[in-house]
Amino acid sequence: MRILVVEDEAGLAESLRLGLSADGHWVEVVHDGHRGLDLALTGGPYDAVLLDLMLPGLGGHEICTRMRAHGDRTPVLMLTAKDGEHDEADGLDAGADDYLTKPFSFVVLAARLRALARRAGTPRVDVLRAGDLVLDPSGRRCRRGEREIELTARELGVLACLMERPGRAVAKQDILDEVWDVPHAIDPNIVEVYVSSLRRKIDAPFGRRSILTVHGTGYRMAPDGG
Ligand code: CA
């Protein structure tokens, strides 16, 4: 899932980022309310938003209310340090889908998130993974470990084509058919150009070899990311 975390406590925010990333989610963290609202409305689409109640700038209730006012139905899980029934009611009134009182266990948080996504019927965002190489084709983003990598649309298409078939040889012509609009007019060797630039971005800086050449055929993605 793609998850936005709006939490001003740096330590908690960081542990949420690490924990959720390790669970295979794509996580974005911001520490103040205005930036949180801005991202919630324009940075997504997210599958869920974790919203702290007490935030600098703009509080969690206000963010949630404004999201709903904008017609944004993204599931919101409110994090609150208070635990009165009053706060819970406030949060749900503001349009939050669920709430969790701090301190909470990460296991409970993860379970609540899954439940929220199920209830929302959120279509799963297909994120492709090969070891620490992660590609989110619909969000047009790629990262190796913690490092975000900028890819062009074409590079992204070629990489997705390979990552969808880990460990299998993919012919240049098949990549061309899938990624280019008018494949018949193009020399399949153009794929080499894109594979070279991909290797410069996703492999070389990390001392890795994820895109292997299959002589006479095309390429193969190392399932472990190289
Ligand atoms: Ca706070």
Give 111 Cα–ligand 1 centroid separation in angstroms: 22
pLDDT in tens, 106-150: 989 998 988 887 777 655 557 889 999 999 887 788 999 989 999
Give 114 Cα–ligand 1 centroid separation in angstroms: 23
CATH code, 43: 3.40.50.2300
Q: Does residue 8 sit in the same domain as residue 64?
A: yes
pTM of the model: 0.56
Give 100 Cα–ligand 1 centroid separation in angstroms: 13
d(CA 46, CA 44) in angstroms, rounded, equals 5
Give 101 Cα–ligand 1 centroid separation in angstroms: 12
At 146, list the tokens.
């913690």
- In 3D space, the residue among 79, 73, 99, 75 whose CA is nearest the CA of residue 88 turns out to be 99
- Whether 19 maps to a domain, the answer reads yes
d(CA 188, CA 176) in angstroms, rounded, equals 6
Give 37 Cα–ligand 1 centroid separation in angstroms: 15
Domain that holds residue 139: 128-221
pLDDT of 101 reads 87
Give 182 Cα–ligand 1 centroid separation in angstroms: 52
Give 55 Cα–ligand 1 centroid separation in angstroms: 5
Give 7 Cα–ligand 1 centroid separation in angstroms: 6
Biggest CA-to-CA distance, the chain: 68
CATH code, 148: 1.10.10.10
- Whether 226 maps to a domain, the answer reads no
Q: Does residue 55 sit in the same domain as residue 153?
A: no
Looking at residue 124, what DSSP letter applies? Answer: P
pLDDT in tens, 186-200: 888 899 999 999 999
Q: Does residue 108 sit in the same domain as residue 140?
A: no
Q: Does residue 35 sit in the same domain as residue 114?
A: yes
